[in-house]
């Protein structure tokens, strides 16, 4: 769990992690440098939960740096990012571990998500065995791609990717190219149950991303995704189709955003999730 300035909302998430029915779970929390008492709260919780461990970061790493610090320290066969404001159902880990163990060719298992929008599901990758087709679906998403972003993944796949990366737009939307990299390594398995609650807080990181959104940053995400695809060595024809689809999607999305802004309905652009 990468955490930062979270004292007002992290408590329920810690409790939901402690309530997991899976018996072999360790929780590693990296608290980025902040002064609101988050690290003390996490350390107090860990003192009464022997499978919780807290890292105090002495320098401000940012979201990507803090996430990668966790990936470098984590051990085990399966990993997942526990977002510091999104509580989990007690069976979250056990159901996703079960899904991966029944699908040895898959690298990630994820569930549906409950939120203020109702139940959010991502079904676009179901049954796909071609890795470039999986990448294309993520490159031009029609459904909420952030559902698999909250999934359980194989540690070996994460080590092959080497962590999240900044792009020309900074940290904005950097989890999509990361997810793209996983999809190019293996399949995704959906567990059709809402096992996580997405808390869209007005002061949350996602809200900050929305406010800082720009065409430059959105283009950066798209180009980072295409870079991940090139790294998988597609054929020339597949590469050309991917680039055309990705850039066309970017142009259409920017047109959509301009239209919404003109109507006064979207002051900051669309959220990465």
pLDDT, average across residues 172-181: 94
209 pLDDT more than 80: no
Instruction: Kindly report the pTM of this predicted structure.
Output: 0.90
Query: Which residue blocks in the chain are alpha helix, DSSP H?
Result: 10-18, 38-46, 62-73, 92-101, 131-139, 155-161, 175-185, 205-212, 215-231, 236-262
The terminus-to-terminus CA distance of the chain in angstroms comes to 19
Digit-coded pLDDT (tens) for 212-267 = 789 999 999 999 999 999 999 999 999 999 999 999 999 998 998 888 878 775 54
Q: What is the model's pLDDT at position 101? A: 97
Provide CB contacts within 8 A for 44, sequence distance 6+. Answer: none
Distance CA 70, CA 256 (A): 37
With both helix axes pointing from N to C terminus, report the angle between 236-262 and 215-231 in degrees, rounded to the nearest 10.
Answer: 160
Alpha-carbon dihedral angle through residues 140, 146, 150, 154, given to the nearest 10 degrees:
10
272 pLDDT more than 70: no
| H or E element at residue 115 | strand 106-115
Q: Taking Cα atoms as reference points, which of 78, 109, 135, 84 lies closest to residue 195? A: 109
Digit-coded pLDDT (tens) for 60-118 = 999 999 999 999 999 999 999 999 999 999 999 999 999 999 999 999 999 999 999 99
Query: Which residue blocks in 118-214 are alpha helix, DSSP H?
Result: 131-139, 155-161, 175-185, 205-212
Q: What is the model's pLDDT at position 269? A: 41
Q: Percent helix, strand, coil in the chain (nearest 5)?
A: 45, 15, 40
Distance CA 98, CA 65 (A): 30
Do 76 and 183 touch, CB atoms closer than 8 A? no
pLDDT, average across residues 21-45: 96
| Domains of the chain, start order | 2-209 (3.90.550.10)
The counts of H helices and E strands in the chain are: 10, 8
């Amino acid at each position: 769990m990468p955490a930062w300035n979270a004292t007002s909302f992290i408590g329920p998430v810690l409790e939901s992690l402690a309530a997991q029915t899976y018996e072999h779970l360790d929780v590693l929390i990296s608290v980025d440098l902040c002064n609101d008492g988050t690290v003390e709260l996490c350390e107090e919780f860990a003192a009464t939960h022997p499978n919780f461990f807290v890292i105090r970061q002495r320098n401000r790493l940012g979201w990507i740096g803090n996430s990668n610090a966790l990936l470098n320290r984590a051990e085990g066969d399966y990993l997942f990012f526990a977002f510091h404001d999104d509580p989990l159902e007690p069976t979250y880990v056990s159901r996703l571990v079960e899904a991966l163990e029944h699908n040895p060719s898959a690298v990630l298992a994820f569930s549906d998500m409950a939120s203020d929008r109702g139940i959010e599901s991502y079904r676009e990758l179901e049954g796909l065995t071609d890795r470039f087709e999986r990448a294309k679906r993520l490159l031009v998403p029609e459904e909420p791609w952030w559902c698999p972003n909250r999934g359980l993944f194989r540690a070996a796949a994460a080590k092959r990717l080497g962590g999240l990366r900044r792009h020309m737009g900074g940290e904005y939307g950097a989890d999509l190219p990361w997810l793209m990299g996983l999809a190019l390594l293996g399949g995704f398995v959906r567990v059709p149950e809402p096992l996580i609650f997405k808390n869209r807080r007005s002061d949350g990181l996602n809200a900050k991303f929305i406010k800082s959104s720009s065409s430059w940053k959105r283009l950066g995400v798209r180009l980072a995704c295409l870079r991940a695809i090139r790294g998988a060595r597609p054929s020339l024809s597949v590469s050309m189709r991917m680039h055309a689809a990705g850039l066309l999607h970017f142009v259409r999305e920017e047109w959509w955003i301009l239209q919404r802004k003109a109507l006064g309905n979207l002051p900051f652009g669309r959220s990465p999730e």
